[in-house]
Amino acid sequence: MLGLDKKDTTLLIVVAVLALFAPFLLNPFPTESALAQFNAGYPDLMQRFVIFGIFAIGFNILFGLTGYLSFGHAAFLGVGSYAAVWMFKLLGYNVVPGIILSVIVAGVFALLIGFISLRRSGIYFSILTLAFAQMSFAMAYSVLTPITNGETGLQVYSSDNPLFQTATDPNVPHLFGLVMRESYTMKVGAWSFSFNNGYYLCAILMLVAFYISIRIFRSPFGLMLRAVKSNQQRMNYTGLSARPYTLAAFVISGMYAGLAGGLLASMDPLAGAERMQWTASGEVVLMTILGGAGTLIGPVLGAGFIKYFENIFSKINESTLHGWFSWLPDPIEDPLVWLLEHFIGGGWALTLGTLFMLVVIFLPGGLVEGGQRIGRLISGKSRGTEDETGKPAATSHPAE
């Protein structure tokens, strides 16, 4: 179907079903129960799942396929957000021009940065992209204040007078009258499920993005990108230049990031410089490797995982922990709570860093590899089969 083979079609359909029924799946606990704090089915969080899913899918096209580790992808996300908010300010609250422009602007920006950064590879490339992102952050924060509104962040003011905003149009982001932040709430017994317009827009775009990413993975172009990763020298010897391919991958992933940024702004018409900071760039790297770099489904899983636990961890506090571990004897409970207390509440960044290290050290292939290992363990098959993308296990580089 749609030019995909059977396995990929199944994967796409599974993801589509999961995305469309997410409001049910993410709300397994009744609203009034004690476990309701583990529900993730409210619009704001679901939007972030799919938006950061798009971001990570795009990042994976660059990092997973070519192995070029960019540390500055948040810059494209930020640029996309600014572009979208400017469209709201100039043209009106319809999200379509904002999203289109955010993709285009991020693509042009990625072309510029990629053209320079891709002159070097390996470590140099990572450092360069990090430097560019920090430079973009500094520019957004102070240098370009007339465009970005500096520290305050860019937002739409009532004095802006957009060009196509008529009196009947809603005064919040909308898609031809469909207001993004409105939801339809369905109550079934003790459960309540909310279906948010914005979420479905993001989810549909995420599915499109996912589909494109599958096509790229399976295309001759994707094969070229993998060749860049496995042995660039050999590729050069066969008379191919790696530069155009890596630049194309960089721009595509930049456009994905721009789309994510545009969607973030469409859900909540704000754009701030902190979206471009290095921690944000690090987060998308983590999402990708946590899920499994170079796999199709990995980045989506990683994004969902990170955003879900970010939400849960920041809600827990010390007394909740004491409640959970009250069955332990005090000499064990107190040190345990003391230890865990570092990671909860405002300590999410610490959790993120720890997770980062643990994943890189113990599970370089991410959740997908972890799942495969467990699967193999259960089915009892021996190792050495190729993983989902068809690339051999990570460390072996033939003829290097």
Partner 1 sequence: MDDIILQILNGLDKGSAYALIALGLTLIFGTLGVVNFAHGALFMIGAFCAVTLQKLLSLERIEVSATEKTAWGTPLEIKTPYAELWFGHDFGAAIIDWSVPLAILFAIPVMLAIGYVMERGLIKHFYKRPHADQILVTFGLAIVLQELIKHYYGANPIPTPAPSAFRGSFDFGVLLGFDAGSIIYPYWRMVYFAFSAVIIGAVFAFLQFTTFGMVVRAGMADRETVGLLGINIDRRFTIMFGLAAAVAGLAGVMYTPINSPNYHMGMDFLVLSFVVVVVGGMGSLPGAVLAGFLLGILESFASYSPIKNFFETWLFLPSIDQIIIYLVAIIILLTRPRGLMGRKGVMED
Q: Chain centroid to CA 292: how far? A: 13
Q: Cα-Cα-Cα-Cα dihedral of 365, 367, 371, 376, to 10°?
A: 10
Kindly indicate which of the ranges 13-21, 81-89, 134-142, 374-382 contains the residues binding partner 1, using the contact rule CB under 8 A. Answer: 134-142
The one among 328, 349, 374, 393 contacting partner 1 by CB under 8 A: 349
Strand partners, 44: none
Least CB distance to partner 1 at residue 53 (A): 20
Least CB distance to partner 1 at residue 293 (A): 9
Q: Which two tokens stand for residue 86?
A: 């400017």
Residues 284-303, interacting with partner 1 (CB under 8 A)? 285, 289
Nearer to partner 1, 21 or 124 (CB): 124
Binding of partner 1 by 353 (CB under 8 A): yes
Kindly indicate which of the ranges 31-39, 130-138, 202-210, 259-267 contains the residues binding partner 1, using the contact rule CB under 8 A. Answer: 130-138
Binding of partner 1 by 279 (CB under 8 A): yes
Contact 296, 177 (CB under 8 A): no
Element (H, E) at 188: strand 183-188
Least CB distance to partner 1 at residue 339 (A): 12
Q: Which two tokens stand for residue 90?
A: 């100039």
CA distance 299 to 177: 32
Kindly indicate which of the ranges 178-186, 214-222, 263-271, 353-361 contains the residues binding partner 1, using the contact rule CB under 8 A. Answer: 353-361
Contact 97, 282 (CB under 8 A): no
* CA angle 230–304–102, rounded 5-degree value: 75
Residues 36-75, interacting with partner 1 (CB under 8 A)? 63, 67, 69, 71
Binding of partner 1 by 234 (CB under 8 A): no
The one among 82, 132, 200, 256 contacting partner 1 by CB under 8 A: 132
Least CB distance to partner 1 at residue 3 (A): 31
Binding of partner 1 by 316 (CB under 8 A): no
Q: Transcribe 68-114 into DSSP letters.
A: ---S-THHHHHHHHHHHHHHHHHT-SBHHHHHHHHHHHHHHHHHHHH
Binding of partner 1 by 147 (CB under 8 A): no
CA distance 94 to 162: 11
Nearer to partner 1, 96 or 350 (CB): 350
Binding of partner 1 by 357 (CB under 8 A): yes
The one among 1, 13, 138, 186 contacting partner 1 by CB under 8 A: 138
Least CB distance to partner 1 at residue 221 (A): 22
The one among 153, 170, 347, 370 contacting partner 1 by CB under 8 A: 347
Q: Is 63 helix (H, G, I), strand (E, B) or coil?
A: helix
Nearer to partner 1, 99 or 293 (CB): 293
The one among 27, 81, 121, 165 contacting partner 1 by CB under 8 A: 121
Binding of partner 1 by 314 (CB under 8 A): no
If 0-12 CB within 10 Å is exposed, 13-18 middle and 19+ buried, where does residue 25 land? middle
Amino acid at the residue 271: A
* Residues that contact partner 1, how many (by CB under 8 A): 45
Q: Residue ranges of the alpha helices (H) in the chain?
A: 6-20, 22-25, 43-66, 74-90, 95-117, 122-138, 145-148, 197-218, 220-230, 232-237, 242-267, 278-291, 298-315, 318-324, 330-341, 348-362, 366-379
Binding of partner 1 by 191 (CB under 8 A): no
CA distance 213 to 218: 9
Least CB distance to partner 1 at residue 116 (A): 6
Q: Chain centroid to CA 24: how far? A: 22
Nearer to partner 1, 102 or 126 (CB): 126
What is the binding site for partner 1 (CB under 8 A)?
63, 67, 69, 71, 116, 119-124, 126-128, 130-132, 134-135, 138-139, 142-143, 145, 232, 278-279, 282, 285, 289, 342, 347, 349-350, 352-357, 360-361, 364, 394-395
